[in-house]
Chain A
């Protein structure tokens, strides 16, 4: 049974939210991911992921300032919650476990092959 549900893209998003710390809102998250991962992120995918993370309680949001470019719409900043942190740790530890369980031989062969 899964304790914490965190999809691949969701994990990237929540990690990025963590990276940006107090500066995480839609556009900045998108740019950060695109920069770091060299992949295109659509607004649709990003906001869907954000909404899901928020509804799972992994992140919370608050309204921020209004800039000129935003045509009077406030920024919505995101922050990781305690539950979100647990989910991230869980996700990380399962990966570490998996890493640790890989016999060295397997990786060696791979490198040679």
Chain B
């Protein structure tokens, strides 16, 4: 009877043993086993067999992890690159398309990457980044929750007194404003704020010169390096006296390093002590109720172990607890907005943070990835399309002994080689395009040449791109069966080109979506720009008021009018393009007593209407002829609607208990966001010193001429400050800055996307034409016309573009309708946008393809048929 050793151990042995050694060792142990069975029985033999198997399990007999011999692969890899290089040179056209397409895609990714990085790094400069917060409040006005940064001037003190244990610093601060600095004869204007002394520590200011305690004395000032340089040149600025706003003398106590561009404090160029603010504005401390007016900002730094969220909840009633009874209906909720969210999450709607700039960061990141994806798709398509040319190579390599993994590596090394060439090109392109990109994006970015991280990410990214772009060709080409490709019976069937067609469809879908997006953004901007403004913007300029100018208002006005330099001028609390002052405390007949209102309420001189050219809808304009106009209101139409006045003229509105008569109604004036509804607003007359002069230049003179005259007159009456003015139309245009920026960038990306897609299409078309040379030749001989052939070659691509258009239109309809809903005043997504985008894509496709198609169709068939 024949005996067999334990099967499990025999299998175990076969599993671990080096395949080359299996036969004879197995033979040996089997021989021994048989002998032992005969000698001492099966049991002992089995045991000894097991011992043998276990003792055989040792290095030298165990199989290596991979069966191939571990030789140095250097030569092979070198040959891959060599072959890759030669292949590239052999088909220069395709290589150029590949590399330039990839390079453009990468350059776009590079620029967007820099931009996104810059956005994410915003404010990171500050050491206490994680702990700095701004104290803000939600209040309910006119039935809506509004969110604001402005606070009562006593906010910081109150928080310090009540919740001090949670904070390291709580600091009151003014708005960042332009201040006049006078040093001897020289006059400068620089932006800065009044701050409590803790700001030096909170913002970790780098004091370059002077004391680290520079805001202790009331009459002191701290300058940024750039301001110190501008004011004093090479002189030592410390302890020099400057005159601030022509009011007080202040001593320079310290010079600090300018804060970087991508921080919220980039314009904080000078810092004065908060105590000085209080002494310059004595009314602040004499207010009847310091809590009923919001006109300053509050910043804070929470303690190291404090949780911002928790502290924020704790302080929410800090204002409510101190407010007068009738002000509580504003439902003030104080909260902390962390520094990490200032820039990217700055929008609030109905008291909820709704994002902000982060949306754009996402939008551009996705666009960047898509553009890069398009370039990768080109690469995939061209490589697989041309695979038939290389199928023989694959066959030969395989029959000589290449295993599949080697072929995969070969194709990857080729794609990585191309990706790296594209990377080098992309860096060059990015470098050239960066200045233009910076000006569009409004940034000061640089390529961080010396940052290892940048290179690491760049190279890593290139590798990933190379692998991603090469993954499909590598897996596809390496799967060919050598017998088939070498015998020549290898033909890619219909299915082989399916993935290629899908990819082309994806490309065109993305391109068409980008085109539609660009058009929609432009249409929205145009729509908002065309919105009726309610005043005449031409020739309007704005300049600041100071006490000297206010005193001479009449004289300046008369002088300028007699010189014919201006049509009219007025003094106003706010410029036309912004609201600097709002008031509550209004009452009228039939008002819901619980409704808390807050209107822009602008104090102006009687010439206001004539200067800006508003349109009176009802009643009359302010006039110097009526003494009673000092207690009169002019309302805009929205205010009339909001208040619900049937017959507004002559009605009385109470403001802080005083009666004001409505004497006129004007058409709505577009003041703030061009995308939002116009707020209910009112105007009253004032003699106080206000904030700005608005001047209408004489339209019969050219702007420079009249500006020169205006400046001369202002200088004559006011020697204390430099004259500077802004044009209202420019201020108005800046309201579209963000949307225009998005529009320009979207257009830029759309053009590139289309270009890259067409590049790929061009390559594919030429490939198809080349592949079908013989077919075309035969068709021609049979009598096909050039037009027939053109149709034949273009049809396939046109079908793909049509499919893309349908997908893209469906997607964009939903996406952009949703996007537009974030604007109250918005255009619609009309059908002609889709028609234009799809039609455009089709035309571009036809042009691209036709070039190749016609070239192939006009070839002499003799040539194409003769060659073998």
Contact = CB atoms under 8 A, between A and B. Distances in A.
A58 interface: no
A42 B58 CA distance: 12
A44 B51 CA distance: 10
Contacts of A51: 21, 60-61
Contacts of B21: 47, 51
B565 to A, nearest CB: 104
A69 interface: yes
A44 B26 contact: no
A71 B61 contact: no
Contacts of B56: 42-44, 47
B32 A43 contact: yes
Nearest to A55: B60
B640 interface: no
A47 B62 CA distance: 11
Interface string B833-853: 000000000000000000000
B55 A26 contact: no
Contacts of B688: none
B52 A67 contact: no
A27 interface: yes
A73 B23 contact: yes
Given A44-B57, A47-B61, A74 B24 contact: yes
B30 A75 contact: no
A60 interface: no
Question: Mostly helix, strand, loop or mixed at chain A's interface?
Answer: helix
Contacts of B31: 26-27, 67, 69-70
Interface string A37-59: 00000111101100110000000
B61 A76 contact: no
Interface string A59-101: 0000100111111011110000000000000000000000000
Among B25, B52, B59, find the residue whose CB has the most chain A CB atoms closer than 10 A: B25
Given A47-B21, A51-B60, A71 B26 contact: yes
Given A27-B32, A51-B60, A69-B35, A45 B27 contact: no
Contacts of B234: none
B52 A44 contact: yes
A42 B26 contact: no
B751 interface: no
A113 to B, nearest CB: 39
Among B24, B26, B51, find the residue whose CB has the most chain A CB atoms closer than 10 A: B24
Nearest to A76: B24
Nearest to B51: A42
Contacts of A71: 26-27, 30
B52 A73 contact: no
B34 A44 contact: no
B625 interface: no
Interface residues of B, number: 22
B28 interface: yes
B361 to A, nearest CB: 62
Among A25, A30, A45, A70, find the residue whose CB has the most chain B CB atoms closer than 10 A: A70
Given A27-B35, A42-B51, 9 more contacts: A27-B28, A43-B56, A47-B21, A48-B60, A51-B61, A69-B30, A73-B30, A74-B27, A76-B27
Contacts of B802: none
Interface residues of A, number: 23
Interface in B42-92: 51-52, 55-61
Question: Mostly helix, strand, loop or mixed at chain B's interface?
Answer: helix
B32 A73 contact: no
Interface of A: 25-27, 30, 42-45, 47-48, 51-52, 63, 66-71, 73-76
A65 to B, nearest CB: 10
Interface string B1-42: 000000000000000000001011111111110110000000
A93 B439 CA distance: 87
A63 B28 CA distance: 13
Contacts of A27: 28, 31-32, 35
A48 B58 contact: yes
Contacts of B59: 48
Contacts of A74: 23-24, 27
B86 to A, nearest CB: 39
A48 B61 CA distance: 7
Nearest to B27: A73
A75 B24 contact: yes
Nearest to B23: A73
A26 B25 contact: yes
Among A27, A44, A52, find the residue whose CB has the most chain B CB atoms closer than 10 A: A44
Contacts of B24: 25-26, 63, 73-76
Contacts of A76: 23-24, 27
Contacts of B61: 44, 47-48, 51
Contacts of A25: 24, 28
A48 B18 CA distance: 12
Among A25, A27, A30, find the residue whose CB has the most chain B CB atoms closer than 10 A: A27
Nearest to B37: A69
Nearest to A48: B60
Contacts of B60: 48, 51-52
A44 B23 contact: no
Contacts of A47: 21, 25, 28, 56, 61
Contacts of B30: 69-71, 73
Contacts of B34: 68-69
A20 to B, nearest CB: 14
Among B27, B52, B56, find the residue whose CB has the most chain A CB atoms closer than 10 A: B27
B25 A43 contact: yes
A65 B177 CA distance: 103
B440 to A, nearest CB: 68
